[in-house]
Amino acid sequence: MKILGISAFYHDSAAALIDNGEIVAAAQEERFTRKKHDPGFPSHAVQFCLEYGGVTINQLDAIVFYDKPLLKFERLLETYYAFAPKGIRSFITAMPVWIKEKMFLKRLINEELVKLGYDKKKPVKILFPEHHLSHAASAYYPSPYEKAAILTVDGVGEWATASICLGEGKDITILKELRFPHSLGLLYSAFTYFLGFRVNSGEYKLMGLAPYGNPSSPDVDRYVDSILKELIELKDDGSVWLNQEYFDYATGLKMVNEGKWEALFGFKKRNPEDTLEAEHCNLGLAIQRVTEEAVILMAKEAKRLTGADYLCMAGGVALNCVANGKVQKAGVFKDVFIQPAAGDAGGALGAAQAAYHIFFGQERKVTWKGDAMRGSYLGPTFSDLDVELTAKKYSAVYTHYEDFKELSKDAARLLSEGNVVGWVQGRMEFGPRALGGRSILGDPRNSEMQKKLNLKIKYRESFRPFAPSVLAEECADYFDYDGISPYMLLVHPVAESRRKPLPDNYDGLDLRDKLYFLRSDLPSITHIDYSARIQTVHKETNPRYWELINAFKDLTGYAVVVNTSFNVRGEPIVSTPNDAYRCFMRTEMDYLVVGNYIFDKRQQPEWQEKDNWQEEFVLD
């Protein structure tokens, strides 16, 4: 039984194909179109999934869209009615799009599929599970658990903004929901907006900014008190009630009432690219603390309702890896599995799985070691011919290796010498994290590496942290954590033995001075609060990446490298060798490794294209 899942028309459109419950392929549309968070119909992703699965559209048993558009339309109408006459501008803006397109989504999907070869005379069943069921399914069905609590938290689906479910066998039972306009995800996005970052893409920046707040500052406590007294009511089960006098997302064209927020917190909304001041960092820390408390309370409620030993998580808030680490540390559950494509892209996969197990009633068999996501390496791959054609196109100079172990040794040496290396191997990752398939790598021991990567390679804010990739079997030697974290979705502290003491005046330093203080013997991956967003690398799921890190360990004694996504600011992660070479040549990256080929920047012909990535990509 072959089922195609689709998410589209909001942000992070994607497609996923399953065959008898097994995940065959999954990819986001942005990787093909090069438009970050592309919301359009995922034609390229659908075509890739079908070709990889060796199936045509008419051979599918079902096509499954990740939410119920008419239920979402009902929510919009009821919300506008409840707040009338407020919101008339937003209503006038939204309604034509809904009446023209989204109300007739089934027809629109059919039209797009016809362009891909679909014969409507032989119709395929099209299904529409609810948004949060798609999220829940994406987390539970690939997990290694026979029974688990499922917690999904995001901005909003149709009505639900958070849900607690029980997954047992092939069934998922929804036990409790939080409903719009009250939403932990929208609360966090509101702070993302107020602090000058883009909603639906800058939330991870807010998470990275929070540790720069001064935990001993009375301002942080004051901000937390203001949030809990004026903006929200946080209840014992983790649910939140949001005071709509301070928010504008329900019926307006902005996230917040800026005047009220400025009066509440005592400073103006930050504009993008403005200097980050102490007040911004302290407010970031305050909302991160509130979010963590809410997520932990929700996890405790999930435990109370289900009695399960394990927890599965999905939804955009499940990408808050600091909160995830706190949930794991709290010990409410024996272990936690988080869907690596936790946002809307993962809804495509969950929709297909929900149809297979719930609509078609197919049994679920947990027979895999670990989880069923295959390391999240579910996207397109490439051949030697693809690399050589790219090289020919640009008259590029390369060295080809017959023996990958020899390439790994040379790449490890280049890293140890302070070089930045683009690394493209095998199938592309599904989800927002680069996991050693489409990554930029560096030496974590190098005190200048974070600055170099941020300012000369990624062209992004200097405060942004970088993640470590560590051999799974040696994780506990470097971090206060002895479990697995293959999807870079957990934050845990750097081991005490590797830390350097902070100066007495540390909390009084400005952001820049804090940023470049050497906090451990792994300065490039140790965040300002001694934490790290860990990726454990497993030989079973990514043998080539494991081989490289092992070679780096043999050379340096360290089984860790710096890993960041292969892109510049505002660009989707690269997919093809062509994408990779273009990004390589437009940055100050030193070397590019694609498959068994190494490109040395010094040997390449002068870059002739007069393009400008800052004009090509919208800065996020």
Do 165 and 124 lie in one domain? The reply is no
Do 292 and 317 lie in one domain? The reply is yes
| β partners of residue 471 | 537
Percent of the residues in the chain that have a pLDDT greater than 90, as a whole number: 79
CA distances 580 to 188, 388, 422, 528, Å, are 33, 13, 8, 31
User: In this predicted structure, what is the pLDDT of residue 616?
Assistant: 62
CA dist 336 and 311 (Å) reads: 5
Do 260 and 161 lie in one domain? The reply is yes
Q: Is 395 exposed, middle or buried (0-12, 13-18, 19+ CB in 10 A)?
A: exposed
Query: Do residues 28 and 121 make contact, with C-beta atoms less than 8 angstroms apart?
Result: no
Q: Is residue 17 part of a domain?
A: yes
Of 191, 196, 200, nearest to 231 by C-alpha is 191
The per-residue pLDDT for range 550-586, each reduced to its tens digit, is 999 999 999 999 999 999 988 999 999 999 999 999 9
Question: What value does the mean pLDDT of the chain take?
Answer: 92
Amino acid identity at 71 = L
At 331, is the secondary structure helix, strand, or coil? coil
In DSSP notation, 97-138 reads HHHHTGGGHHHHHHHHHHTTT--TTS---EE---HHHHHHHH
CA dist 17 and 27 (Å) reads: 10
pLDDT confidence of 77, banded at 50, 70, 90? Answer: confident
Do 176 and 218 lie in one domain? The reply is yes
Q: What value does the mean pLDDT take over residues 351-357?
A: 98
Strand order in the sheet with 531-537: 399-400, 597-600, 591-594, 421-424, 438-442, 560-565, 467-471, 531-537, 490-493
Do 566 and 452 lie in one domain? The reply is yes
Query: Do residues 11 and 39 make contact, with C-beta atoms less than 8 angstroms apart?
Result: yes
pLDDT confidence of 100, banded at 50, 70, 90? Answer: low
Of 350, 324, 346, nearest to 337 by C-alpha is 324
pLDDT confidence of 242, banded at 50, 70, 90? Answer: very high
Query: How would you classify residue 334: left for phi > 0, otherwise alpha for psi between -120 and 50, otherwise beta?
Result: alpha
Of 66-75, 175-184, 213-222, 241-250, least confident by mean pLDDT is 66-75
DSSP 332: S
At 9, is the secondary structure helix, strand, or coil? coil
Do 38 and 85 lie in one domain? The reply is yes
- Checking if the pLDDT of 462 tops 80, the result is no
Of 276-285, 374-383, 511-520, 594-603, least confident by mean pLDDT is 511-520
| β partners of residue 593 | 423, 598
User: Residue 448 corresponds to which tokens in the numbers above?
Assistant: 């200048």
CA dist 582 and 175 (Å) reads: 49
Do 115 and 155 lie in one domain? The reply is no
User: In this predicted structure, what is the pLDDT of residue 450?
Assistant: 85
User: In this predicted structure, what is the pLDDT of residue 271?
Assistant: 93
What's the pTM value of the predicted model, to 2 decimals? Answer: 0.94
User: In this predicted structure, what is the pLDDT of residue 91?
Assistant: 67
Of residues 593 and 527, more confidently modeled: 593
Phi, psi torsion values for 31, nearest 5 degrees: -70, -20
- Checking if the pLDDT of 521 tops 60, the result is yes
- Checking if the pLDDT of 615 tops 60, the result is no
User: In this predicted structure, what is the pLDDT of residue 87?
Assistant: 64
Do 123 and 190 lie in one domain? The reply is no
Q: Is residue 605 part of a domain?
A: yes
User: In this predicted structure, what is the pLDDT of residue 509?
Assistant: 74
Phi, psi torsion values for 544, nearest 5 degrees: -70, -45
Q: Is residue 378 part of a domain?
A: no
pLDDT confidence of 504, banded at 50, 70, 90? Answer: confident
Do 587 and 438 lie in one domain? The reply is yes
pLDDT confidence of 613, banded at 50, 70, 90? Answer: low
Range of the domain at 147: 143-338
Question: Where do we find the tokens 């609060």?
Answer: 529
Query: Do residues 204 and 461 make contact, with C-beta atoms less than 8 angstroms apart?
Result: no
User: In this predicted structure, what is the pLDDT of residue 452?
Assistant: 86
The dihedral over CA atoms of 362, 365, 369, 373, expressed in degrees to the nearest 10, equals 10
Q: Is residue 367 part of a domain?
A: no
User: In this predicted structure, what is the pLDDT of residue 233?
Assistant: 98
Do 64 and 148 lie in one domain? The reply is no
Amino acid identity at 450 = Q
CATH number at residue 24: 3.30.420.40
Domain count, the chain: 3
Do 59 and 30 lie in one domain? The reply is yes
Q: Is residue 237 part of a domain?
A: yes
Q: Is residue 375 part of a domain?
A: no
Q: Is residue 450 part of a domain?
A: yes
Query: Do residues 174 and 165 make contact, with C-beta atoms less than 8 angstroms apart?
Result: yes
CA dist 295 and 324 (Å) reads: 8
Query: How would you classify residue 109: left for phi > 0, otherwise alpha for psi between -120 and 50, otherwise beta?
Result: alpha
Terminal-to-terminal C-alpha distance of the chain: 40
- Checking if the pLDDT of 620 tops 60, the result is no
- Checking if the pLDDT of 6 tops 60, the result is yes
User: Residue 293 corresponds to which tokens in the numbers above?
Assistant: 């408390």
Q: Is residue 535 part of a domain?
A: yes
Of 189, 205, 185, 209, nearest to 282 by C-alpha is 209
In DSSP notation, 473-530 reads GGGGGTBS--S--TTS-EEEEBPGGGB-PPPTTGGGS-HHHHHTS--BSSTTT--TTS
Residue 487's CB: how many other CB atoms inside 10 A?
A: 24
Phi, psi torsion values for 443, nearest 5 degrees: -90, 120
Do 394 and 313 lie in one domain? The reply is no
Q: What value does the mean pLDDT take over residues 195-218?
A: 92
Percent of the residues in the chain that have a pLDDT greater than 70, as a whole number: 95
CA dist 329 and 280 (Å) reads: 27
Q: What value does the mean pLDDT take over residues 152-166?
A: 95
574 CA to centre of own chain? 15
Q: What value does the mean pLDDT take over residues 213-227?
A: 95
CATH number at residue 583: 3.90.870.20
User: In this predicted structure, what is the pLDDT of residue 612?
Assistant: 60
